Amino acid sequence: MGQDEQRFRFLSLLRPIERDLENYSRRMVFERCDFEDALQNAVLRAFRAFDRYHDDASFRAWMFKILTNEIFAMNRKRGRVAQFEIAVEPQELEEFAALDFAPAAAGPISWDALADALDEELLTALQSLNQSERAVLLMRAIGDLRYREISECLGIPIGSVMGNLSRARQKMRDAILRARRRSL
């Protein structure tokens, strides 16, 4: 494949997911100013490796993996993370399920009444997530990746993906409960 043709094909796959990649990068970097560099480095790195990308794989998952590696490297440089944290034991399905439903059990939520308080609390909660919880949550919520794809991206077992996702969601749910208490 010629380089122009390759470039054209790469861009046609990249453009539909630019928004998701940018949202992911913005929320994953520990220093806000790093998000542009992370995106730029990841896209250039992906283009250079594009001849190794195979059509039968998901381009979205492939790009998220490259971007995630780039972001982890940047976060490491900032000295906030010594290495990729996988301080998780694979979770049993029972536990995964048991952590859910807390806000629902606390009664119905009037989302509109929470308004700005909710965004504030969600942002605080997002910042409190460790790197692996944050990556898993964002890959699922922004990247729309399957558990298997996330597990391959991060090189961790599916059980750890589920455990991280569960804990991350629980922290975000707690944020909703805090916002609700504030609005009462």
Partner 1 sequence: MMKCAEVRKFVRLYLDSELDTKESFEVEQHLESCAECAGLFEAEKKFDQRLGRFLRDDLPTRTLWEKIESQIAPSRSRGIKALWPVALAASLIITAGAVFLARSRPLDLARAVEECHSAYAHQITTPEFSGTVPEKIVQQFGGRLDAEAFAYRPSERAFTSSGARLCHVEGIPVALILGRCAETPVSVIVFEKSELDHFPQTKRKLESGDPIACSRSGRFQFAARVVDDHVVCVVGDEPRPALEDLLKTVRRADG
Residue numbers at the binding site for partner 1 (CB under 8 A): 2-5, 7-8, 10-12, 14-16, 18-20, 22-23, 26-27, 36, 39-40, 43-44, 47, 93-94, 96-97, 100-101, 103-104, 108-109, 111-112, 118-119, 122-123, 126, 138, 140-142, 146-147, 166, 169, 172-173, 176
CB of 88 to partner 1, least distance (A): 17
Q: How far is the CB of 90 from partner 1 (least distance, A)?
A: 15
Closest distance between partner 1 and the C-beta of residue 114, in Å? Answer: 9
Whole-number Å distance between alpha carbons of 109 and 179: 10
- Single out the residue of 128, 130, 89, 121 nearest to residue 103, CA to CA: 121
Smallest CA-to-CA distance from 168 within 109, 80, 69, 85 is with 85
Q: Which is nearer to partner 1, 31 or 111 (CB)?
A: 111
Q: Is 79 left (phi over 0), alpha (psi -120 to 50) or beta?
A: left
Kindly state the smallest distance separating residue 124's Cβ from partner 1, in Å: 12
By C-beta, is 29 or 43 nearer to partner 1? 43
Chain centroid to CA 38: how far?
Answer: 14
Would you state the structure tokens that stand for residue 156, as one six-digit string? Answer: 């961790």
**3-state SS class at 143:** coil
Q: Residue 88 CA to chain centroid, in angstroms?
A: 17
User: Smallest distance from the beta carbon of 6 to partner 1, in angstroms?
Assistant: 10
Nearer to partner 1, 86 or 177 (CB): 177
